[in-house]
Amino acid sequence: MTLLKSAYQDLEDIVGPDYISDDPSIQDSYAFQWLAELVRPEQSHYMPRPVAVIMPASTEEVQAITMVCNKYHMKIKPISTGWYHWAGPIKDEDDTLQVDLRRMNRILEIDEKNMFAIVEPYVICAQLQAEVMKRGLNINIIGAGASTSIVASACAYAGMGPSTYWMGHNSDNVLGMEWVTPSGEIIRTGSLGSGDGWFCSEGPGPSIRGICRGFLGSRGGLGVYTKCAIKLSHWPGPKEFNVRGTLPAYRLPIHENFRVYTLAVPSWDAWADIYYKIYDNEIGYIFHRQFTLAGADLGPALWLILNDHTKTLNDIEEMVKRSDIKELTEELRISFQIILAGRSLRDIELQDKILDQVLAETGGWKVKRFCEDDMAEFTNVYLQRLGHKHLNFVWVGGYLGSWMQPGTPDFVKKYVPIAIKGLYRDAAGGLLVQCGGDALMGCGSTVAGGGWSGLEQFVSYDPADRESIKAGTKHMEDAITDAISNGIPPGKEAIYLSLGYKDEKIWDTLANSQQPIIFHFQRKIKEAFDPNDIGDRNYPTLPEDY
Amino acid sequence: MTLLNYRADALRCTRCSYCKWIPFDLMKSWRFSKGCPSVDYNHFHSYSAGGRLVTALSLLDNRIEVTDRVIDSVFKCQLCGSCDVTCKMCRFDMEPLSALRELRFKLVEEGHAVPKHKSVMEGFRTQNNMLNKVKTKRGDWADGLNLRDLSKDKAEIVFHAGCRYSYDNDLNHVAKASVSILQEAGVDFGILGKEENCCGGRAFNIGYKKDFVTAATKNIKDWTNAGVKTVVTPCADCYYTFKRLYPEIGSEIKVLHMVEFIDQLIKQGKLEFKNSVPMRVTYHDPCYLGRQGEPYIPWKGKEKKIFGQVVIYEPRKPRYNGANGIYEPPRNILRAIPGLELVEMERIKEAAWCCGAGGGVKEAYPDFFTWTANERIEEASSTGAEAIISACPWCERNFIDAMKEGDTNMKVFDVIELVYKAIRKEDF
């Protein structure tokens, strides 16, 4: 794939020579993407190379770049912080221009009174959170963590995290988008489109949030989002994180009107019950099943290792043999984390009492070791800032997510035993990390106020070992089979795997889905906004004859 | 080790981009949240640690050839180690900073050095210093101080001034102040004067590993001949080189930075501050004293897998992640000086922003080192401090040079200067 000299010149004229490159080393650094090895031929770690990488500094430059892509029939693929194999070009046969948005990195406004912020695509969650906390406000940081782009999670992909229960999903929190469509038009959504500012995503003005992002988002397949307004929530904590401790065991002291707990229950039925009771009683600020991502068998030891900066993974073999750790591991087997935040000391006392009652009614308990100061303070910073999310990869550098079908806790608990059994089975040969069958992590709720949850199986494989990679791919295929044979739709793994499929296989899957009409409707949307087909298939459609 | 030893690191990189930021838990503002000067200035992913690992992998797998862009992206980096800290926040199986150095060794060995570095290295080989100054003038800073000459005499402690403090006339009063403080405290020491050689650390960092070994071998031999048991240096680059690199080639000599030594002297009651130094200051952690100034721990071992695929190392591998750098001694000193008020910047200790001078950037990329330094000066100014204090001549030189093009009244001092002001009435 090479870029025509005339196209390169047209693009260089837009951004200047310092902000475009087609050097192979630059191309490769964008082709190299996490998860590529699971879906690419020969377990290659590289997605297809972009023909060039370009870095615009403004919406107008994005628009001009889009017009050049239309002129030369190139795919356009935006990337902000970039963390997934679908962030790069997808198909070898396409000429794809990678648009790196890192120069568009400003917080344009924080409207304290109306509780929203306007940001560009390369503003990350940690930056905005640090700024808005000074004003007594907070943001919903998605599960992928502090390093992610707010615009990406608000406009183009998913959008839930540990604080979604309190603060809402970012598909709800987005209050206005500035969208450069694949045809090069600049559309400002909601009230912004009628000149009334950024306060409402649904108008007066173009009410097209569903078209732009829906639930999962178009993942860069339907144009470029260049700004958005994001709703802010109240923050009853300190204006600044005064973190203490020695890295990586940073700790955030617990403010007097906060409580940080790791809770456990005796069964998955009790797990569903306690989730409902937490929803119904409207307690909690951060609500997440976090620490099981490292596996229920090894996780407890790992978290204690991380909380002691003198320890390494070498300590884990001995630790898991200790009787106290064995007891702790059993105590934590069905566990999750909750952070309560009170608007006043009386409020937090009330929430505490309610939580105690909920625990009594469900047979649950506070896990003493993980509620002691050191672990509670570590949990506090971990879940408030989500700055350790790269621990997803702690075992060996490769992790894939399977399952994660969202639904009520009663629905989720149906697939939990299947997922646990499946991971024990697939890791038995030693090609995947054997950290326990339950490496299920997920938000307390994926919608504001509770009611809907989901658990993602964290499967760790070695990206430097081809056999381990193959085992990872096979696990995903097995998880799909497990799900379908139990009457459950496929989970996250199906999205991962589809990146490696031919178009026809994807169309067959979409055509056999429960509502194929959706993808025909999306084709019509694409025809309207992307007549020259410069967006990639991350925005899924079905051909007319399917 | 060769670059091939780091192939697994490259394959296990997840492109999370943590290497571009300071640890997220420590972020206090949008403005001072970045950790990597290289990618912040040059933008493309290849200018981050993660991007360079991809470049290394692509070179190893013959997907790409060495182009001007490859050379630029590999060398336009201070090797400040911020990436190493943030990567290891969550990972035990990655060594990005070591991998970047190996990538430089490979390019230099294959004839792809940066042209400006080549001329610096010519001076290194003929004059034994990184500033291309005349070798015989290296000890001039000590003229008239009546210091013991360890090229002829013996002592257990050698004061090693380093290239910058020896030759830089704007800064070599710090070397004079250092020896004056040692004398004041009654320390028995000597210097090598014009026979002192470059530590070789900067040569190592720009990819000239063999030249480093030559310099290190000669220094160790000179010290051994003079009966030296401890080397004391005011230079953070020299400190890192002696402490972390020399043991790899057999040195067992104890290494102390002047700030560590002064901190000890204060605690032992051997230094008395007689004068007030009324000043509001902020302290800049030098990369090679701070996050890269951790103690050396010998290790030779191999990767092992447990629980199927969990990576550990046999025997246990030392973890250099910035947790144990030299952060408190300079702060202890500053807090002990009467009248001095220490205010902190947002990015400190393991999260400190680089001054811009390291990794051969000072020698080859003037716009980049100036920009990097000005970023730090702006951060220092935001604290309300009137002076930025450091413990490294390269940081200080870089700040002074950058300020020539900026609009600031910020002063630059070494910790040692302030100690000198506090113990002696006369100026230099």
DSSP output for B139-205: TGGGTTS--EETTTS--SEEE--HHHHHH-TTTTHHHHHHHHHHHHTT---EE-GGG----SHHHHH
Burial of B1 (0-12, 13-18, 19+ CB in 10 A): exposed
Question: Inter-chain contact A313–B92, Cβ cutoff 8 Å?
Answer: yes
Question: Inter-chain contact B26–A30, Cβ cutoff 8 Å?
Answer: no
Measured distance CA(A39)–CA(A398) in Å, rounded: 13
The enclosing H or E element of B310 equals strand B310-314
Amino acid identity, position A334:
I
By the 8 A CB rule, do A228 and A108 touch? Answer: no
pLDDT over 90, % of chain A: 95
Q: For the segment A278-331, what is each residue's pLDDT rounded down to a tens digit?
A: 999 999 999 999 999 999 999 999 999 999 999 999 999 999 999 999 999 999
Comparing CB atoms, the residue among B57, B307, B313 nearest residue A298 is B307
What pLDDT shows up at residue B428? 59
Q: For the segment B405-419, what is each residue's pLDDT rounded down to a tens digit?
A: 778 899 999 999 999
What pLDDT shows up at residue B252? 95
CB atoms within 10 A of CB B332: 16
What pLDDT shows up at residue A19? 98
Using an 8 Å CB-CB cutoff, list chain A residues near B45. 26, 29-30, 53, 82, 100
Name beta bridge partners: A277.
none
Q: Please say if the pLDDT value at position B11 is more than 70.
A: yes
Measured distance CA(B222)–CA(B216) in Å, rounded: 10
Using an 8 Å CB-CB cutoff, list chain B residues near A99. none
Using an 8 Å CB-CB cutoff, list chain B residues near A42. none
Q: Which residues have CB under 8 Å from A264's CB, separation 6+? A: A331, A332, A333, A334, A335, A336, A364, A365, A367
Question: Inter-chain contact A19–B310, Cβ cutoff 8 Å?
Answer: no
Measured distance CA(A254)–CA(A259) in Å, rounded: 7
Using an 8 Å CB-CB cutoff, list chain A residues near B56. none
Measured distance CA(B284)–CA(A70) in Å, rounded: 50
- Both tokens of A278, joined, read 């937490």
CATH 1.10.1060 in chain B: give the residue spans: 1-112
Q: Please say if the pLDDT value at position A411 is more than 70.
A: yes
CA of A461 vs chain B CAs: smallest distance (Å): 7
Question: Inter-chain contact B90–A248, Cβ cutoff 8 Å?
Answer: yes
Using an 8 Å CB-CB cutoff, list chain A residues near B7. 464
CA of B375 vs chain A CAs: smallest distance (Å): 17
Quick one: DSSP state of residue A407?
A: B
Measured distance CA(A106)–CA(A119) in Å, rounded: 6
Using an 8 Å CB-CB cutoff, list chain A residues near B29. 127, 130-131
Q: Please give the backbone phi and psi of residue B294, each rounded to the nearest 5 degrees, phi first.
A: -75, 155
What pLDDT shows up at residue B425? 64
Which of these, A77, A55, A80, lies nearest to A535 by C-alpha position? A77
Comparing CB atoms, the residue among B8, B70, B308 nearest residue A432 is B308
Q: Please say if the pLDDT value at position B256 is more than 70.
A: yes
Comparing CB atoms, the residue among A46, A317, A390 nearest residue B91 is A390
Using an 8 Å CB-CB cutoff, list chain B residues near A397. 11-14, 91, 93-94, 311
Q: For the segment A55-87, what is each residue's pLDDT rounded down to a tens digit?
A: 999 999 999 999 999 999 999 999 999 889 999
pLDDT bin (cut points 50, 70, 90) of residue A169 is very high
Measured distance CA(A119)–CA(A2) in Å, rounded: 34
Q: Please say if the pLDDT value at position A378 is more than 70.
A: yes
What pLDDT shows up at residue B117? 97
Burial of A6 (0-12, 13-18, 19+ CB in 10 A): exposed
Question: Inter-chain contact B23–A102, Cβ cutoff 8 Å?
Answer: no
Query: Please, what's the b/e burial string for B108-123 (b: 16 or more CB within 10 A of its CB; e: otherwise)?
Result: beeebbbeebeebbeb
What is the pLDDT averaged over residues A217-235?
A: 96
Q: For the segment B384-403, what is each residue's pLDDT rounded down to a tens digit?
A: 999 999 999 999 999 999 99
Measured distance CA(B30)–CA(A124) in Å, rounded: 9
Q: How many CB pairs below 8 Å do chains A and B form together?
A: 221
3-state secondary structure of B29: coil
What pLDDT shows up at residue A295? 98
Question: Inter-chain contact A390–B14, Cβ cutoff 8 Å?
Answer: yes
pLDDT bin (cut points 50, 70, 90) of residue B147 is very high
Comparing CB atoms, the residue among A30, A131, A385 nearest residue B25 is A385
Comparing CB atoms, the residue among B90, B308, B322 nearest residue A434 is B308
Mean pLDDT (chain A) is 96
- Strands of the sheet with B340-342, listed across from one edge: B340-342, B279-283, B387-390, B411-414
3-state secondary structure of A230: strand
Interface of B with A in 29-48 (CB under 8 A): 29-30, 33, 43-46
pLDDT bin (cut points 50, 70, 90) of residue B185 is very high
Amino acid identity, position A413:
K
What is the pLDDT averaged over residues B419-426?
A: 86
Fold (CATH) for A395-496:
Alpha-Beta Plaits (3.30.70)
CA of B268 vs chain A CAs: smallest distance (Å): 27
What pLDDT shows up at residue B406? 77
Using an 8 Å CB-CB cutoff, list chain A residues near B90. 248, 388-391, 393-394
Using an 8 Å CB-CB cutoff, list chain A residues near B72. none
What pLDDT shows up at residue A202? 87
Q: For the segment B31-74, what is each residue's pLDDT rounded down to a tens digit?
A: 999 999 999 999 999 999 999 999 999 999 999 999 999 999 99
H-state helical runs in A311-400:
316-319, 323-331, 345-362, 368-371, 373-385
- Both tokens of A31, joined, read 């082709």
Question: Inter-chain contact B309–A103, Cβ cutoff 8 Å?
Answer: no
Tell which CATH classification among 3.20.20.70, 3.40.630.10, 3.30.465.10, 3.40.50.300 matches the domain A107-234.
3.30.465.10
CA of A205 vs chain B CAs: smallest distance (Å): 31
Q: Where are the domains of chain A?
A: 5-100, 107-234, 250-394, 395-496, 501-546
B127 CA to centre of own chain: 22
CA of B228 vs chain A CAs: smallest distance (Å): 32
Question: Inter-chain contact A127–B312, Cβ cutoff 8 Å?
Answer: no
What is the pLDDT averaged over residues A339-359?
A: 97
CATH architecture of residue range(s) B1-112: Orthogonal Bundle (1.10)
pLDDT bin (cut points 50, 70, 90) of residue A238 is very high
Ramachandran area for residue A160 (φ above 0: left; ψ -120 to 50: alpha; else beta) = beta
Question: Inter-chain contact A397–B55, Cβ cutoff 8 Å?
Answer: no
Mean pLDDT (chain B) is 96
What pLDDT shows up at residue B405? 79
Question: Inter-chain contact B14–A393, Cβ cutoff 8 Å?
Answer: yes
Using an 8 Å CB-CB cutoff, list chain A residues near B291. none
CATH 3.40.50.1860 in chain B: give the residue spans: 126-267
Residue B314: closest CA among chain A residues belongs to which residue?
Answer: A314
CATH number belonging to domain A5-100: 3.30.43.10
The enclosing H or E element of A280 equals helix A268-281
What pLDDT shows up at residue B426? 66
Cβ of residue B26 closer than 8 Å to a chain A Cβ = yes
Tell which CATH classification among 3.30.565.10, 3.40.50.1860, 3.30.930.10, 3.30.1450.10 matches the domain B126-267.
3.40.50.1860
Residue A379: closest CA among chain B residues belongs to which residue?
Answer: B25
Question: Inter-chain contact B15–A131, Cβ cutoff 8 Å?
Answer: no
The enclosing H or E element of B230 equals strand B230-233
What pLDDT shows up at residue A419? 98
Comparing CB atoms, the residue among A100, A298, A393 nearest residue B90 is A393
Measured distance CA(A487)–CA(A415) in Å, rounded: 10
Burial of A202 (0-12, 13-18, 19+ CB in 10 A): middle
Name beta bridge partners: B388.
B282, B412
Using an 8 Å CB-CB cutoff, list chain B residues near A21. 44, 69
CB atoms within 10 A of CB A357: 12
Cβ of residue B58 closer than 8 Å to a chain A Cβ = yes
Q: For the segment B289-347, what is each residue's pLDDT rounded down to a tens digit?
A: 999 999 999 999 999 999 999 999 999 999 999 999 999 999 999 999 999 999 999 99
Interface of B with A in 152-211 (CB under 8 A): none
Q: What is the CA radius of gyration of chain B?
A: 21
First to last CA, chain B: 46
What pLDDT shows up at residue B299? 96
Q: Please say if the pLDDT value at position B1 is more than 90.
A: no
What pLDDT shows up at residue B427? 62
